[in-house]
Structures are given as C-alpha cells and as structure tokens.
Structure 1
C-alpha cells in the first residue's frame, strides 16, 4: 500500500510539474504582447531626452548586499540601466516563437538589441565625459552626434514594432491602444 501511495504521489508530482512547465512556455497572447510590446515603453525616451534626464540626476546603482540604490559614477549608472534592458531582452528571447508570435517577437528583439548596442556605444562614453567633468559643450555635442547617428533607425524599429503589435492586438482582441 505504501509503495502504491509513493508511486501515486510521484506520478501526481510529475503531472503537476508537466502542467506548470508547459503553461510557463505557452504564454497567452496577452502575456506575449505585454512582454514583447509593452516593455518597449522603456525605450520611448531613447537618445538625448533620456541621456539629459539621467545626467541631471544623481547617478545610482542597486547594491544587492544593501538591497538599495547607492551613489555611483554616471558610467556605472548607465551600465546598470543597460543591464536591466538586457534582462528584459532575455525575457523576450525566452518566449518560444511560433507562427503566431514570430513577427512580434522578432521586431521586439530587433528594437531591444539595437537600443542596447547603441547605448553601450553612445550612452556610456557620454557618461564618461560627465564623470571626467568635460565641458557642457563637449557633452552636448556628443549627445547631438549620438542622436544624429541613431534617431532615424531607432524610430524605424520602434514604428515597426508598434505596427506589428497593432496587428497582433487586433488578431487576438487584446484591449490595448498602440501609439506610434
């Protein structure tokens, strides 16, 4: 009797595990939309607007040991924010692609990958200028150059994602308003 009970318990645990793991990998269209499209709001201020805002505030990073934000350099603060974007991208990449969500996921990954690469190439050197007390003119020129080299491409990728997201929302009757 005890052996049957143990076998039954093990069987139920395996079934529960299978159900949980399959439900985690098969996200609803709403959840897929939330992760792939709504997270793009983090990039809505990309470029000079975001850089200037960050340079006008005190630089901080999260200290895991203290469980709070602590003062840092601007470079470390910008790198911390990039790390958070990379975590969001990883979440998007972890969603299994299928015929239904492929275009949405690819547009989202494309936008996030581009933004992360450009932030590493542009935001971090600008933060270094600020840390090294470069002149405001030098910093503003670097920001203007960054915008000139990235703005049209980020806008195109963002618009593509919003267009794909609108199609996805319409197809799945998701209650969301897409702003382009």
Structure 2
C-alpha cells in the first residue's frame, strides 16, 4: 500500500489570528500619540513624578521608551510568517512604524533636546507645530489605513475590538 500525502496551498500558521492582531495592530497603541500629542503626554508623565534615571529627560524617554518600543514591535512583526490574509496588515504596520521611527529619530528628537535644554516655550511650541504641519496628516493616514485593515481582519476572525476614546 502506497500512501500519497498532498499539501495544498492553504494558509497554515502556528500563530493564531489573535496573536497576529495583537502584534501587528494592537501594539500600535504605543505610537497613537504623535507630534504635539506625544509631547503633551510626555510632559504629563514627567509632571506626574513618574521619572527614573532611564527616563528623566525627554531625550532619554524618547530613546529608551518610545524608540525602543518601536524597534521591539517591528522585530515582533518581522518574526511573524506573513500569510495572504495577514500580509496587508503587516505591510501597513511596518510602513506606519517606519514613518514614526524616522520622525522620532529626527523631528521628535530635536524637540526633545529643546525641552531638555529649556528652550523658550514659544520655540518649543513652534517646533512641535512644525512637526504637526509636516507629518501629522501622513501619520493619521497611515494609522487609519492600518486600523481599517486590522478591524476587517479582526471581524473576519471573530476578534472583539474595543475602541478607546483618545
């Protein structure tokens, strides 16, 4: 008796739909604040007394928290095996993270150094406004694109998505 095993082109993955959704979409909550919103959140964080030696300056917070989180999340996504159903969501997330990382490492870092250097409030606000004018619309577009794809993926896979007001 000869047994023939056939493998069809199915979408097999050891990663559950929930894991894909969590790593690819849900983790972007860590970057949902961008530009002016990012710095407002940082200033509330510091004024609340929640600073440590790793985060006691805006630059350290940006590098040791925000940038490090983006890099870690990108690695988590790249460790996934894309499938036909997950590839659009993965591609949109990687595009969003690349955009945010570029801004964090340039424009956001410039403002962080201004805050740490006690630049005038007017200069800091002008720099934040410049980030928002330059990048905020593109950020929102990329963020919304990812979430449009992610919400459809969640619905197709029976994943409940709760939206929080921001």
Aligned pair count reads 149
Match in the other structure for 1:142: 127
Match in the other structure for 1:104: 89
Q: Distance in 1 between matches of 2:58 and 2:138?
A: 25
What is the alpha-carbon root mean square deviation over aligned residues?
2.4
Q: Distance in 2 between matches of 1:166 and 1:130?
A: 37
Give the TM-score taking structure 1 as reference length: 0.75
Asked if 1:126 corresponds to 2:111, the answer is: yes
Asked if 1:84 corresponds to 2:69, the answer is: yes
Residues 176 and 56 from structure 1, CA distance in 2 versus in 1: closer, same or farther, beyond 3 angstroms? Answer: closer
Equivalent position to 1:43, from 31, 54, 64: 31
The structure richer in strand per residue is 1
Residues 147 and 98 from structure 1, CA distance in 2 versus in 1: closer, same or farther, beyond 3 angstroms? Answer: same
Secondary structure in 2 aligned to 1:149? helix
Q: Distance in 2 between matches of 1:175 and 1:119?
A: 31
Match in the other structure for 1:19: none
Point out which structure has higher relative CO (alpha carbons under 8 A, 6+ apart): 2
Give the TM-score taking structure 2 as reference length: 0.81
Unaligned runs of 5+ residues in structure 1 are: 1-24, 60-67
Secondary structure in 2 aligned to 1:30? helix
CA contact (8 A) 1:162 1:179 kept: no
1:49 CA drift (Å): 1.3
Larger Rg: 1
Unaligned runs of 5+ residues in structure 2 are: 1-12
CA contact (8 A) 1:85 1:116 kept: yes
Tell me the alpha carbon deviations over residues 77-104 of structure 1, each in whole angstroms, 9 at most, x when there is no partner: 2111211221111111111111121011
Q: Distance in 1 between matches of 2:58 and 2:132?
A: 19
